Each structure stands twice: as C-alpha cells, then as structure tokens.
Amino acid sequence: MLSAFTCLFLLFPEQVKLIDPYCSIVEFLQMTLDPPVYETIRNAIIVLQDVGALTHDSMLTELGEKLGALPVHPSTGKMLFFAILMNCLDPALTLACAADYRDPFLLPMAPDERKRAAAAKAELASLYGGHGDQLTVVAAFEC
C-alpha cells in the first residue's frame, strides 16, 4: 500500500521538479516511506514526456510548470490549456469533470430497451456532428 504522499507525487511527479528542478524524480520517490515500483515511476515520467511537461532528460518545461500548478492529471490540464486557446473551454471542462466519474450512459438489460438506449445515445452524439463518446457526454450535459 502506497502512502498518500507517494500517491500524490506519483500522480503529479512534475511537482517534484517544481520543488527542485535538478532532483531526480526516481531518487526522490525512492526516499518516501512506501516507495513505488520503479516501472510505475518510469511510466509516469513517460506520460509527462509525451504530454510535453518534461524533456527527455527529465527537466521541467514551461508547460510542465503550468501543469504542476493544476490539481488534475497532466493530460487533462493540457486539454484545458488547449481548450482556452481554441475558445472551447466549456465543453472541455465538461469532459474533464466527466472523466472522473463512471460512464453516464448505462445500457439496460432488455434487448429492446438496449436498442432504444443506443439510438438515444447516437442521437445525442449527432447533435454535434459526430459519433464519439466525448461528443455524446457534452451534448447530454448541454441538453
């Protein structure tokens, strides 16, 4: 079982770089009471590099500094920053909130009700000209 402190830094390892830009994330987390498995830390670092929060030599980028200030997953934070730039923050905020909860669309057990539910979900998605789950969630929220 990981300590709450370790979980916090595992979810937001860019916070380590905000504290000390030259500190190794792996070394820092290995000093915690319940250090996580190396592969878990490595995977978190890879996610941060893919998002653009860390360089390949694990230095914090300007984007990483901004993402470290947000209390959300770095991918969600990056989505919100891009949403601001593209003037579509409202639907992005809806998606960010919906991502933390279970799927709002439950399929009934009866076959005829399943077909009706699937048709209703498709109709919601089509309101925004698409068929994706994200468009369906935004349309459902706005309706």
Mean pLDDT of the chain: 81
What is the C-alpha to C-alpha distance for residues 136 and 138, in angstroms, rounded to an integer? 6
Looking at the predicted structure, is the pLDDT value of residue 7 above 50? no
Q: What is the pLDDT of residue 35?
A: 84
Number of CB atoms found within 10 A of residue 53's CB: 26
Whether residue 125 contacts residue 135, with contact meaning beta carbons closer than 8 Å, is answered with yes
Looking at the predicted structure, is the pLDDT value of residue 97 above 70? yes
At residue 11, the 3 state secondary structure works out as helix
Give tens-digit pLDDT for 26-67: 887 788 788 888 888 888 889 889 999 889 988 889 998 898
* H helix or E strand, kind and range, residue 76: helix 74-85
What is the C-alpha to C-alpha distance for residues 45 and 27, in angstroms, rounded to an integer? 13
